Amino acid sequence: MGRLLESGRRAGELFALRRAAAFQAWYEHMPVRKAQLPRGPDIEAYRRLAVGDLITMNVLDTRQFRMPPACGGGRKANCAEAFEPRRTMMGETQERWLYDGFKTASARWTVLAQQVTMMRNDADPDPNKFLPNMDMWDGAPAARDRLFAAIEDAKVGNVIALSGDIHSNWAGELKKDFLDEKSATLGVEFIGTSITTNRDGYDINDNFRQRIAKQPYVKFFNNQRGYVRHVVTPARWQADFQVIDKVTVPDGSMSTRKSLMVESGKSAIAQA
């Protein structure tokens, strides 16, 4: 037993060293402020940035303080653990910080810059089945409900979620009830694709056509590589999905695959 405890202690120390090195590398290579300077294996990455009275950007951390993904993570159907009321993606302290910020928000646009898909995202094309990813907000619907309730209670308008980590382009509307098309729309989510992961990719296939058809709040999908360019004014938020035809050869051709916009005061996606 003693040897097992000693082995576990050493494994924990090794992981802490690796974590500290990773945070140091992140800090040295990212455009962050001194406040994000890591303290060994600990870092406070969530923060709030202001762009005049145009944007309040809440940069969230949905990795360090979240509960472990339900049912072991991955795509899981019928995972009762995911629906536990105590489930969190941000931890209690960060949730309180974010919701308190909503109460005093005065900028034209309120941004949630965070890591994983916030909208309901069904990976099964079968209209009679639901296959969520436990690593995303689908794996903690109670946490998403609390977030949406805080937005609604504080009457926060012009909410834009900027997300990633799914290696494809998406745009969708954040519904109070994703299963009710007439439900209130509380914000809009734009998800940027990867730069090289999954190689050249493709625009769309039958699998994704079927998935989007059963999720009417999803307004755009694309599985090519690239980035999203956001142009923001007091009147509107425009997202230009820039894609490259091939990343597997030199001199690929970049183009604007889709330009979408949200008018100030309207939580709805429209063609730019």
Per-residue pLDDT band at 12 (split at 50, 70, 90): confident
Cβ neighbors of 144 (< 8 A, separation 6 or more) are 89, 118, 137
Between 33 and 171, the higher pLDDT residue: 171
- List, for residues 35-74, the tens digit of each pLDDT value: 999 999 999 999 999 999 999 999 999 999 999 999 999 9
CA pair distance 7, 12, nearest whole angstrom? 9
Contact 62, 90 (CB under 8 A): yes
Identity of residue 120: R
70-86 average pLDDT score: 97
Asked whether the predicted pLDDT for residue 144 surpasses 90, the reply is yes
Asked whether the predicted pLDDT for residue 22 surpasses 90, the reply is yes
Question: What token pair was written down for 203?
Answer: 């625009």
What is the pLDDT, as a whole number, of residue 4?
Answer: 64
Class of the domain covering 45-224: alpha beta
CA pair distance 171, 218, nearest whole angstrom? 6
Mean pLDDT of the chain: 96
Contact 76, 134 (CB under 8 A): yes
Between 201 and 7, the higher pLDDT residue: 201
* CA terminus-to-terminus distance, the chain: 65
17-43 average pLDDT score: 93
Question: What token pair was written down for 160?
Answer: 């834009």
Per-residue pLDDT band at 10 (split at 50, 70, 90): confident
